[in-house]
Structure 1
Protein backbone atom coordinates (compact mmCIF):
# COMPACT_ATOMS: atom_id res chain seq x y z
CA UNK A 1 0.00 0.00 0.00
CA UNK A 2 1.11 3.56 -0.64
CA UNK A 3 0.86 6.40 1.85
CA UNK A 4 -2.63 7.46 0.73
CA UNK A 5 -3.95 3.90 0.98
CA UNK A 6 -2.48 3.49 4.46
CA UNK A 7 -4.09 6.75 5.52
CA UNK A 8 -7.44 5.62 4.13
CA UNK A 9 -7.15 2.31 5.96
CA UNK A 10 -6.26 4.07 9.21
CA UNK A 11 -9.36 6.23 8.75
CA UNK A 12 -11.50 3.14 8.19
CA UNK A 13 -10.11 1.61 11.38
CA UNK A 14 -10.98 4.74 13.36
CA UNK A 15 -14.49 4.81 11.86
CA UNK A 16 -15.04 1.13 12.65
CA UNK A 17 -13.93 1.71 16.24
CA UNK A 18 -16.39 4.60 16.54
CA UNK A 19 -19.28 2.37 15.47
CA UNK A 20 -18.34 0.10 18.37
CA UNK A 21 -18.30 2.98 20.85
CA UNK A 22 -14.52 3.16 20.98
CA UNK A 23 -11.95 5.82 20.22
CA UNK A 24 -8.66 4.82 18.55
CA UNK A 25 -5.84 7.36 18.37
CA UNK A 26 -4.39 8.31 15.00
CA UNK A 27 -1.04 6.78 15.97
CA UNK A 28 -2.60 3.46 16.95
CA UNK A 29 -4.70 3.37 13.78
CA UNK A 30 -1.63 4.02 11.63
CA UNK A 31 0.28 1.19 13.31
CA UNK A 32 -2.65 -1.16 12.80
CA UNK A 33 -2.87 -0.12 9.16
CA UNK A 34 0.83 -0.90 8.67
CA UNK A 35 0.33 -4.38 10.15
CA UNK A 36 -2.56 -4.98 7.73
CA UNK A 37 -0.82 -3.53 4.69
CA UNK A 38 0.37 -6.91 3.35
CA UNK A 39 -3.14 -8.31 3.05
CA UNK A 40 -5.51 -7.81 0.13
CA UNK A 41 -7.49 -4.56 0.56
CA UNK A 42 -10.75 -6.36 -0.22
CA UNK A 43 -10.08 -8.90 2.56
CA UNK A 44 -9.27 -6.15 5.07
CA UNK A 45 -12.40 -4.23 4.09
CA UNK A 46 -14.52 -7.36 4.57
CA UNK A 47 -12.84 -8.03 7.93
CA UNK A 48 -13.64 -4.50 9.18
CA UNK A 49 -17.22 -4.94 8.07
CA UNK A 50 -17.39 -8.26 9.94
CA UNK A 51 -15.99 -6.57 13.05
CA UNK A 52 -18.69 -3.90 12.90
CA UNK A 53 -21.37 -6.61 12.69
CA UNK A 54 -19.96 -9.17 15.11
CA UNK A 55 -17.87 -7.51 17.83
CA UNK A 56 -19.47 -6.54 21.09
CA UNK A 57 -16.24 -5.39 22.74
CA UNK A 58 -13.29 -3.31 21.63
CA UNK A 59 -11.81 -3.36 18.16
CA UNK A 60 -8.35 -4.95 18.23
CA UNK A 61 -5.76 -5.82 15.63
CA UNK A 62 -6.17 -9.49 16.59
CA UNK A 63 -9.91 -9.34 15.87
CA UNK A 64 -9.30 -7.86 12.42
CA UNK A 65 -6.51 -10.33 11.60
CA UNK A 66 -8.64 -13.27 12.68
CA UNK A 67 -11.27 -12.31 10.12
CA UNK A 68 -8.77 -11.48 7.38
CA UNK A 69 -6.96 -14.77 7.78
CA UNK A 70 -10.15 -16.82 7.83
CA UNK A 71 -10.65 -15.80 4.19
CA UNK A 72 -7.33 -17.21 2.94
CA UNK A 73 -8.74 -20.66 2.12
CA UNK A 74 -6.63 -22.70 4.54
CA UNK A 75 -8.53 -25.57 6.20
CA UNK A 76 -9.33 -25.50 9.88
CA UNK A 77 -7.05 -27.79 11.95
CA UNK A 78 -9.51 -30.70 12.22
CA UNK A 79 -10.22 -30.68 8.47
CA UNK A 80 -6.48 -30.50 7.82
CA UNK A 81 -5.94 -33.56 10.04
CA UNK A 82 -8.60 -35.50 8.13
CA UNK A 83 -6.85 -34.68 4.85
CA UNK A 84 -3.49 -35.67 6.34
CA UNK A 85 -4.88 -39.03 7.46
CA UNK A 86 -6.21 -39.68 3.97
CA UNK A 87 -2.81 -38.79 2.51
CA UNK A 88 -1.11 -41.31 4.82
CA UNK A 89 -2.87 -44.08 2.88
CA UNK A 90 -0.45 -45.01 0.09
CA UNK A 91 -3.31 -45.95 -2.23
CA UNK A 92 -5.28 -42.73 -1.76
CA UNK A 93 -4.64 -39.38 -3.44
CA UNK A 94 -5.32 -36.10 -1.67
CA UNK A 95 -4.83 -32.45 -2.54
CA UNK A 96 -2.99 -30.81 0.37
CA UNK A 97 -1.67 -27.39 1.34
CA UNK A 98 2.02 -26.81 1.99
CA UNK A 99 1.27 -26.47 5.70
CA UNK A 100 -0.52 -29.85 5.85
CA UNK A 101 2.37 -31.58 4.09
CA UNK A 102 4.94 -30.13 6.48
CA UNK A 103 2.86 -30.90 9.58
CA UNK A 104 2.26 -34.45 8.36
CA UNK A 105 6.01 -34.88 7.96
CA UNK A 106 6.45 -33.85 11.59
CA UNK A 107 3.85 -36.36 12.78
CA UNK A 108 4.71 -39.19 10.37
CA UNK A 109 6.93 -41.21 12.75
CA UNK A 110 4.29 -41.17 15.51
CA UNK A 111 1.54 -42.14 13.09
CA UNK A 112 3.61 -44.99 11.67
CA UNK A 113 4.15 -46.26 15.23
CA UNK A 114 0.38 -46.67 15.54
CA UNK A 115 -0.23 -43.82 18.01
CA UNK A 116 -3.00 -41.96 16.17
CA UNK A 117 -3.89 -39.79 19.20
CA UNK A 118 -0.28 -38.67 19.68
CA UNK A 119 0.13 -38.16 15.94
CA UNK A 120 -2.97 -35.96 15.86
CA UNK A 121 -1.67 -33.79 18.71
CA UNK A 122 1.72 -33.46 17.04
CA UNK A 123 0.12 -32.66 13.70
CA UNK A 124 -2.27 -30.02 15.06
CA UNK A 125 0.52 -28.24 16.91
CA UNK A 126 2.83 -28.25 13.88
CA UNK A 127 0.01 -27.28 11.51
CA UNK A 128 -1.02 -24.27 13.60
CA UNK A 129 2.60 -23.06 13.73
CA UNK A 130 2.94 -23.41 9.96
CA UNK A 131 -0.34 -21.60 9.32
CA UNK A 132 0.48 -18.79 11.75
CA UNK A 133 3.86 -18.27 10.08
CA UNK A 134 2.40 -18.28 6.57
CA UNK A 135 -0.29 -15.82 7.56
CA UNK A 136 2.16 -13.46 9.25
CA UNK A 137 4.15 -13.45 6.02
CA UNK A 138 1.04 -12.90 3.92
CA UNK A 139 1.73 -16.12 1.99
CA UNK A 140 -1.26 -17.26 -0.12
CA UNK A 141 -2.56 -20.80 0.25
CA UNK A 142 -1.05 -23.31 -2.17
CA UNK A 143 -2.69 -26.69 -2.92
CA UNK A 144 -0.76 -29.61 -4.43
CA UNK A 145 -1.64 -33.19 -5.30
CA UNK A 146 -0.18 -35.90 -3.07
CA UNK A 147 -0.55 -38.89 -5.43
CA UNK A 148 -1.41 -42.39 -4.27
CA UNK A 149 -1.06 -45.65 -6.15
CA UNK A 150 -4.74 -45.95 -7.15
CA UNK A 151 -5.12 -44.08 -10.43
CA UNK A 152 -8.90 -43.80 -10.21
CA UNK A 153 -8.63 -42.19 -6.77
CA UNK A 154 -6.07 -39.73 -8.17
CA UNK A 155 -8.47 -38.64 -10.86
CA UNK A 156 -11.32 -38.29 -8.36
CA UNK A 157 -9.13 -36.23 -5.99
CA UNK A 158 -8.11 -33.85 -8.77
CA UNK A 159 -11.66 -33.34 -10.00
CA UNK A 160 -12.94 -32.77 -6.45
CA UNK A 161 -10.20 -30.20 -5.85
CA UNK A 162 -11.26 -28.47 -9.05
CA UNK A 163 -14.88 -28.30 -7.88
CA UNK A 164 -13.76 -26.83 -4.54
CA UNK A 165 -11.59 -24.22 -6.26
CA UNK A 166 -8.40 -25.63 -4.74
CA UNK A 167 -6.86 -26.34 -8.14
CA UNK A 168 -7.36 -24.02 -11.13
CA UNK A 169 -9.15 -25.38 -14.18
CA UNK A 170 -6.00 -25.54 -16.41
CA UNK A 171 -4.18 -27.63 -13.79
CA UNK A 172 -7.17 -29.96 -13.42
CA UNK A 173 -7.30 -30.35 -17.20
CA UNK A 174 -3.58 -31.17 -17.34
CA UNK A 175 -3.85 -33.75 -14.56
CA UNK A 176 -6.89 -35.31 -16.21
CA UNK A 177 -5.03 -35.67 -19.49
CA UNK A 178 -2.06 -37.31 -17.75
CA UNK A 179 -4.14 -39.65 -15.61
CA UNK A 180 -6.17 -41.04 -18.48
CA UNK A 181 -2.99 -42.53 -20.04
CA UNK A 182 -2.05 -45.68 -18.09
CA UNK A 183 1.64 -46.71 -18.46
CA UNK A 184 2.40 -50.14 -19.96
CA UNK A 185 4.03 -51.75 -16.89
CA UNK A 186 3.60 -51.18 -13.17
CA UNK A 187 7.30 -50.81 -12.38
CA UNK A 188 7.79 -48.55 -15.39
CA UNK A 189 4.94 -46.38 -14.12
CA UNK A 190 6.54 -46.21 -10.68
CA UNK A 191 9.90 -45.16 -12.11
CA UNK A 192 8.20 -42.50 -14.21
CA UNK A 193 6.35 -41.42 -11.09
CA UNK A 194 9.63 -40.54 -9.40
CA UNK A 195 10.08 -37.92 -12.10
CA UNK A 196 6.53 -36.77 -12.74
CA UNK A 197 4.99 -37.22 -9.31
CA UNK A 198 2.11 -39.25 -10.78
CA UNK A 199 2.60 -42.78 -9.47
CA UNK A 200 0.68 -45.83 -10.74
CA UNK A 201 0.54 -49.19 -8.94
CA UNK A 202 4.15 -50.46 -8.54
CA UNK A 203 5.51 -53.75 -7.30
CA UNK A 204 6.13 -54.17 -3.51
CA UNK A 205 9.87 -53.57 -4.00
CA UNK A 206 9.33 -50.32 -5.86
CA UNK A 207 6.66 -49.28 -3.36
CA UNK A 208 9.24 -49.59 -0.58
CA UNK A 209 11.71 -47.44 -2.55
CA UNK A 210 9.04 -44.83 -3.23
CA UNK A 211 8.18 -44.70 0.46
CA UNK A 212 11.83 -44.05 1.34
CA UNK A 213 12.03 -41.29 -1.26
CA UNK A 214 8.83 -39.70 0.05
CA UNK A 215 10.08 -39.78 3.64
CA UNK A 216 13.43 -38.29 2.62
CA UNK A 217 11.64 -35.43 0.84
CA UNK A 218 9.46 -34.78 3.91
CA UNK A 219 12.51 -34.74 6.21
CA UNK A 220 14.29 -32.33 3.89
CA UNK A 221 11.24 -30.05 3.82
CA UNK A 222 11.01 -30.11 7.61
CA UNK A 223 14.71 -29.19 7.97
CA UNK A 224 14.37 -26.32 5.50
CA UNK A 225 11.27 -25.08 7.28
CA UNK A 226 13.06 -25.13 10.64
CA UNK A 227 15.90 -23.03 9.25
CA UNK A 228 13.43 -20.64 7.61
CA UNK A 229 11.50 -20.19 10.86
CA UNK A 230 14.71 -19.41 12.74
CA UNK A 231 15.56 -16.74 10.19
CA UNK A 232 12.04 -15.29 10.40
CA UNK A 233 12.24 -15.17 14.20
CA UNK A 234 15.49 -13.22 14.02
CA UNK A 235 13.94 -10.78 11.53
CA UNK A 236 10.88 -10.34 13.76
CA UNK A 237 13.06 -9.57 16.76
CA UNK A 238 14.92 -6.91 14.78
CA UNK A 239 11.60 -5.48 13.57
CA UNK A 240 10.14 -5.36 17.08
CA UNK A 241 13.23 -3.58 18.38
CA UNK A 242 12.94 -1.02 15.60
CA UNK A 243 9.24 -0.55 16.26
CA UNK A 244 9.84 -0.04 19.97
CA UNK A 245 12.36 2.67 19.18
CA UNK A 246 9.88 4.35 16.81
CA UNK A 247 7.14 4.27 19.43
CA UNK A 248 9.44 5.86 21.98
CA UNK A 249 10.26 8.58 19.46
CA UNK A 250 6.54 9.17 18.81
CA UNK A 251 5.83 9.40 22.53
CA UNK A 252 8.61 11.93 22.90
CA UNK A 253 7.19 14.04 20.06
CA UNK A 254 3.68 13.87 21.51
CA UNK A 255 5.01 14.94 24.90
CA UNK A 256 6.64 18.01 23.35
CA UNK A 257 3.50 18.95 21.38
Structure 2
Protein backbone atom coordinates (compact mmCIF):
# COMPACT_ATOMS: atom_id res chain seq x y z
CA UNK A 1 0.00 0.00 0.00
CA UNK A 2 1.05 3.60 -0.50
CA UNK A 3 2.43 5.38 2.53
CA UNK A 4 1.25 8.82 1.34
CA UNK A 5 -1.65 10.44 3.14
CA UNK A 6 -2.60 14.08 2.68
CA UNK A 7 -3.67 16.15 5.65
CA UNK A 8 -6.84 18.28 5.62
CA UNK A 9 -5.01 21.39 4.50
CA UNK A 10 -3.39 19.56 1.59
CA UNK A 11 -6.73 18.06 0.53
CA UNK A 12 -8.32 21.52 0.57
CA UNK A 13 -5.44 22.92 -1.47
CA UNK A 14 -5.76 20.07 -3.94
CA UNK A 15 -9.49 20.72 -4.32
CA UNK A 16 -8.69 24.34 -5.17
CA UNK A 17 -6.11 23.19 -7.71
CA UNK A 18 -8.65 20.86 -9.32
CA UNK A 19 -11.14 23.76 -9.63
CA UNK A 20 -8.43 25.97 -11.13
CA UNK A 21 -7.43 23.25 -13.60
CA UNK A 22 -11.03 22.75 -14.69
CA UNK A 23 -11.42 26.50 -15.15
CA UNK A 24 -8.20 26.66 -17.21
CA UNK A 25 -9.71 23.97 -19.44
CA UNK A 26 -12.88 26.02 -19.96
CA UNK A 27 -15.03 24.13 -17.48
CA UNK A 28 -16.90 25.26 -14.40
CA UNK A 29 -16.67 22.81 -11.51
CA UNK A 30 -18.67 22.72 -8.31
CA UNK A 31 -16.37 23.09 -5.25
CA UNK A 32 -18.08 20.09 -3.67
CA UNK A 33 -17.22 17.95 -6.69
CA UNK A 34 -13.61 19.12 -6.57
CA UNK A 35 -13.45 18.33 -2.84
CA UNK A 36 -14.76 14.81 -3.47
CA UNK A 37 -12.17 14.25 -6.21
CA UNK A 38 -9.45 15.53 -3.87
CA UNK A 39 -10.55 13.06 -1.18
CA UNK A 40 -10.32 10.23 -3.72
CA UNK A 41 -6.77 11.28 -4.58
CA UNK A 42 -5.52 11.82 -1.03
CA UNK A 43 -3.71 8.45 -0.95
CA UNK A 44 -1.18 9.83 -3.46
CA UNK A 45 1.56 12.40 -2.90
CA UNK A 46 0.76 16.07 -3.51
CA UNK A 47 3.57 16.63 -6.08
CA UNK A 48 2.45 13.61 -8.12
CA UNK A 49 -1.19 14.76 -8.22
CA UNK A 50 -0.24 18.32 -9.10
CA UNK A 51 1.99 17.04 -11.91
CA UNK A 52 -0.96 14.99 -13.17
CA UNK A 53 -3.20 18.09 -13.14
CA UNK A 54 -0.58 20.00 -15.12
CA UNK A 55 -0.41 17.17 -17.66
CA UNK A 56 -4.20 17.24 -17.96
CA UNK A 57 -4.14 20.95 -18.78
CA UNK A 58 -1.76 20.30 -21.68
CA UNK A 59 -3.03 16.94 -22.92
CA UNK A 60 -6.75 16.50 -22.22
CA UNK A 61 -9.24 17.84 -24.76
CA UNK A 62 -12.65 18.51 -23.31
CA UNK A 63 -13.80 18.40 -19.70
CA UNK A 64 -11.58 17.33 -16.83
CA UNK A 65 -12.53 13.89 -15.52
CA UNK A 66 -11.34 11.88 -12.55
CA UNK A 67 -10.14 9.15 -14.92
CA UNK A 68 -7.83 11.63 -16.67
CA UNK A 69 -6.16 12.60 -13.40
CA UNK A 70 -5.95 9.06 -12.05
CA UNK A 71 -4.44 7.71 -15.27
CA UNK A 72 -1.57 10.18 -15.04
CA UNK A 73 -1.12 9.72 -11.29
CA UNK A 74 -0.81 5.96 -11.69
CA UNK A 75 1.58 6.26 -14.63
CA UNK A 76 3.99 8.05 -12.28
CA UNK A 77 4.34 5.00 -10.00
CA UNK A 78 7.55 3.89 -11.71
CA UNK A 79 6.21 0.76 -13.41
CA UNK A 80 7.48 0.51 -17.00
CA UNK A 81 5.15 0.26 -19.97
CA UNK A 82 4.47 -3.15 -21.47
CA UNK A 83 7.08 -2.77 -24.25
CA UNK A 84 9.88 -1.85 -21.85
CA UNK A 85 8.71 -4.57 -19.45
CA UNK A 86 8.94 -7.17 -22.25
CA UNK A 87 12.47 -6.02 -23.12
CA UNK A 88 13.48 -6.36 -19.47
CA UNK A 89 11.91 -9.81 -19.28
CA UNK A 90 13.82 -10.97 -22.39
CA UNK A 91 17.11 -9.78 -20.90
CA UNK A 92 16.69 -12.40 -18.19
CA UNK A 93 17.23 -15.10 -20.85
CA UNK A 94 20.95 -14.29 -20.79
CA UNK A 95 22.44 -15.99 -17.75
CA UNK A 96 25.34 -13.53 -17.74
CA UNK A 97 23.07 -10.49 -17.42
CA UNK A 98 22.03 -9.04 -14.07
CA UNK A 99 18.41 -7.94 -14.43
CA UNK A 100 16.49 -5.48 -12.26
CA UNK A 101 12.79 -6.26 -12.63
CA UNK A 102 9.44 -5.72 -10.91
CA UNK A 103 7.15 -8.29 -9.32
CA UNK A 104 4.68 -7.80 -12.21
CA UNK A 105 7.36 -8.44 -14.86
CA UNK A 106 8.44 -11.64 -13.13
CA UNK A 107 4.86 -12.90 -12.75
CA UNK A 108 3.97 -12.04 -16.35
CA UNK A 109 7.12 -13.77 -17.63
CA UNK A 110 6.16 -16.90 -15.72
CA UNK A 111 2.73 -16.80 -17.38
CA UNK A 112 4.28 -16.46 -20.84
CA UNK A 113 7.05 -19.03 -20.29
CA UNK A 114 5.18 -22.10 -21.66
CA UNK A 115 4.47 -20.27 -24.93
CA UNK A 116 8.05 -18.97 -25.10
CA UNK A 117 9.47 -22.45 -24.47
CA UNK A 118 7.36 -23.72 -27.37
CA UNK A 119 9.22 -21.34 -29.67
CA UNK A 120 6.34 -18.92 -30.30
CA UNK A 121 7.92 -15.56 -29.40
CA UNK A 122 5.02 -13.54 -30.87
CA UNK A 123 2.48 -15.53 -28.87
CA UNK A 124 4.67 -15.29 -25.77
CA UNK A 125 4.79 -11.53 -26.07
CA UNK A 126 1.01 -11.35 -26.38
CA UNK A 127 0.59 -13.57 -23.33
CA UNK A 128 3.12 -11.50 -21.42
CA UNK A 129 1.44 -8.19 -22.32
CA UNK A 130 -1.98 -9.47 -21.30
CA UNK A 131 -0.75 -10.78 -17.95
CA UNK A 132 1.42 -7.72 -17.30
CA UNK A 133 -1.36 -5.20 -17.93
CA UNK A 134 -3.72 -7.21 -15.70
CA UNK A 135 -1.16 -7.42 -12.88
CA UNK A 136 -0.22 -3.73 -13.12
CA UNK A 137 -3.87 -2.73 -13.18
CA UNK A 138 -4.56 -4.77 -10.05
CA UNK A 139 -1.50 -3.39 -8.26
CA UNK A 140 -2.53 0.17 -9.06
CA UNK A 141 -6.09 -0.47 -7.97
CA UNK A 142 -4.69 -1.72 -4.66
CA UNK A 143 -2.41 1.34 -4.42
CA UNK A 144 0.57 -1.02 -4.21
CA UNK A 145 3.96 0.60 -4.63
CA UNK A 146 6.30 -0.77 -7.28
CA UNK A 147 8.87 -3.28 -6.03
CA UNK A 148 12.11 -3.60 -8.03
CA UNK A 149 14.44 -6.48 -7.21
CA UNK A 150 17.67 -7.86 -8.64
CA UNK A 151 18.16 -11.15 -10.48
CA UNK A 152 21.92 -11.71 -10.43
CA UNK A 153 23.81 -12.86 -13.52
CA UNK A 154 27.24 -14.46 -13.79
CA UNK A 155 29.14 -11.49 -15.27
CA UNK A 156 30.52 -9.34 -12.44
CA UNK A 157 30.98 -6.24 -14.61
CA UNK A 158 27.38 -6.42 -15.82
CA UNK A 159 26.24 -6.61 -12.20
CA UNK A 160 27.90 -3.25 -11.56
CA UNK A 161 26.38 -1.75 -14.69
CA UNK A 162 22.85 -3.05 -14.06
CA UNK A 163 22.74 -2.11 -10.38
CA UNK A 164 24.31 1.31 -11.02
CA UNK A 165 21.84 2.06 -13.82
CA UNK A 166 18.90 1.00 -11.65
CA UNK A 167 20.05 3.34 -8.90
CA UNK A 168 20.51 6.22 -11.35
CA UNK A 169 16.96 5.65 -12.64
CA UNK A 170 15.77 5.64 -9.00
CA UNK A 171 14.40 2.13 -9.35
CA UNK A 172 16.33 1.04 -6.29
CA UNK A 173 17.61 3.38 -3.54
CA UNK A 174 21.33 4.12 -3.52
CA UNK A 175 21.59 2.49 -0.09
CA UNK A 176 20.20 -0.75 -1.49
CA UNK A 177 22.50 -0.51 -4.50
CA UNK A 178 25.52 -0.18 -2.22
CA UNK A 179 24.33 -3.17 -0.20
CA UNK A 180 23.82 -5.25 -3.36
CA UNK A 181 27.36 -4.47 -4.51
CA UNK A 182 28.76 -5.28 -1.07
CA UNK A 183 26.78 -8.54 -0.75
CA UNK A 184 27.85 -9.66 -4.22
CA UNK A 185 31.48 -8.72 -3.51
CA UNK A 186 31.57 -6.87 -6.80
CA UNK A 187 34.95 -5.47 -7.79
CA UNK A 188 34.90 -3.64 -11.13
CA UNK A 189 37.64 -4.89 -13.44
CA UNK A 190 37.51 -2.20 -16.13
CA UNK A 191 37.74 1.57 -16.13
CA UNK A 192 34.08 1.71 -17.16
CA UNK A 193 33.14 -0.61 -14.32
CA UNK A 194 35.04 1.47 -11.78
CA UNK A 195 33.43 4.67 -13.05
CA UNK A 196 29.95 3.17 -12.76
CA UNK A 197 30.60 1.83 -9.28
CA UNK A 198 31.95 5.23 -8.25
CA UNK A 199 28.58 6.79 -9.05
CA UNK A 200 27.08 4.58 -6.36
CA UNK A 201 29.79 4.32 -3.72
CA UNK A 202 31.48 7.66 -4.28
CA UNK A 203 34.90 6.00 -4.38
CA UNK A 204 37.04 4.83 -7.28
CA UNK A 205 39.95 2.52 -6.44
CA UNK A 206 42.80 1.00 -8.43
CA UNK A 207 43.10 -2.78 -8.58
CA UNK A 208 45.04 -4.22 -5.68
CA UNK A 209 47.86 -6.73 -6.37
CA UNK A 210 45.58 -9.56 -5.29
CA UNK A 211 42.91 -8.45 -7.75
CA UNK A 212 45.49 -8.06 -10.53
CA UNK A 213 46.53 -11.65 -9.89
CA UNK A 214 42.92 -12.73 -10.24
CA UNK A 215 42.65 -10.83 -13.51
CA UNK A 216 45.76 -12.53 -14.79
CA UNK A 217 44.25 -15.89 -13.89
CA UNK A 218 41.06 -14.96 -15.75
CA UNK A 219 43.10 -13.98 -18.79
CA UNK A 220 45.00 -17.28 -18.69
CA UNK A 221 41.71 -19.11 -18.40
CA UNK A 222 40.33 -17.29 -21.44
CA UNK A 223 43.42 -18.21 -23.45
CA UNK A 224 43.03 -21.83 -22.39
CA UNK A 225 39.40 -21.75 -23.49
CA UNK A 226 40.52 -20.84 -27.01
CA UNK A 227 42.66 -23.95 -27.15
CA UNK A 228 40.04 -26.45 -26.07
CA UNK A 229 38.68 -28.93 -28.56
CA UNK A 230 35.36 -28.62 -30.36
CA UNK A 231 34.02 -31.40 -28.16
CA UNK A 232 34.87 -29.48 -25.01
CA UNK A 233 33.22 -26.35 -26.39
CA UNK A 234 30.06 -28.35 -27.03
CA UNK A 235 30.10 -29.59 -23.45
CA UNK A 236 30.48 -26.02 -22.20
CA UNK A 237 27.55 -24.84 -24.32
CA UNK A 238 25.41 -27.63 -22.91
CA UNK A 239 26.47 -26.65 -19.39
CA UNK A 240 25.59 -23.01 -20.08
CA UNK A 241 22.21 -24.05 -21.44
CA UNK A 242 21.54 -26.09 -18.31
CA UNK A 243 22.54 -23.17 -16.11
CA UNK A 244 20.17 -20.91 -18.05
CA UNK A 245 17.36 -23.43 -17.59
CA UNK A 246 18.08 -23.57 -13.87
CA UNK A 247 18.00 -19.80 -13.62
CA UNK A 248 14.70 -19.55 -15.52
CA UNK A 249 13.25 -22.26 -13.28
CA UNK A 250 14.31 -20.21 -10.26
CA UNK A 251 12.58 -17.14 -11.68
CA UNK A 252 9.40 -19.14 -12.20
CA UNK A 253 9.62 -20.49 -8.65
CA UNK A 254 10.02 -16.96 -7.30
CA UNK A 255 7.06 -15.82 -9.40
CA UNK A 256 4.91 -18.63 -7.99
CA UNK A 257 5.89 -17.60 -4.46
CA UNK A 258 4.93 -14.00 -5.26
CA UNK A 259 1.56 -15.20 -6.59
CA UNK A 260 0.96 -17.16 -3.40
CA UNK A 261 1.74 -14.10 -1.28
CA UNK A 262 -0.55 -11.95 -3.42
CA UNK A 263 -3.38 -14.45 -3.00
CA UNK A 264 -2.85 -14.54 0.75
CA UNK A 265 -3.15 -10.75 1.08
Same fold? TM cut 0.5: yes
For the Cα contact (< 8 Å) 2:10–2:46, is it kept in 1?
no
For the Cα contact (< 8 Å) 1:105–1:222, is it kept in 2?
no
Cα deviation per residue 1:101-146 (whole Å; 9 max; x = unaligned)? 1211211221122111111111111111222222223322221111
State the secondary structure of the residue aligned to 2:100: strand
In 1, Cα distance between equivalents of 2:249 and 2:121: 21
For the Cα contact (< 8 Å) 1:155–1:179, is it kept in 2?
no
In 2, Cα distance between equivalents of 1:214 and 1:84: 11
- What is the RMSD computed on CA atoms of the aligned residues? 2.6
Q: Does 1:14 align with 2:51?
A: no
| Corresponding residue number in structure 1 for 2:72 | 67
In 1, Cα distance between equivalents of 2:16 and 2:73: 18
State the secondary structure of the residue aligned to 2:78: coil
| Corresponding residue number in structure 1 for 2:254 | 217
| Corresponding residue number in structure 1 for 2:141 | 136
In 2, Cα distance between equivalents of 1:205 and 1:30: 58
Corresponding residue to 1:150 among 117, 137, 155? 155
Cα deviation per residue 1:33-68 (whole Å; 9 max; x = unaligned)? 122111101111111122223323110111111222
In 2, Cα distance between equivalents of 1:212 and 1:51: 43
| Corresponding residue number in structure 2 for 1:165 | 170
| Corresponding residue number in structure 1 for 2:118 | 113
Structure 1: runs of 5 or more not aligned: 183-202, 232-257
State the secondary structure of the residue aligned to 1:62: helix
Structure 2: runs of 5 or more not aligned: 1-5, 188-238
TM-score (norm 1): 0.71
For the Cα contact (< 8 Å) 1:81–1:120, is it kept in 2?
yes
For the Cα contact (< 8 Å) 2:160–2:186, is it kept in 1?
no
TM-score (norm 2): 0.69
Shift of 1:86: 0.5
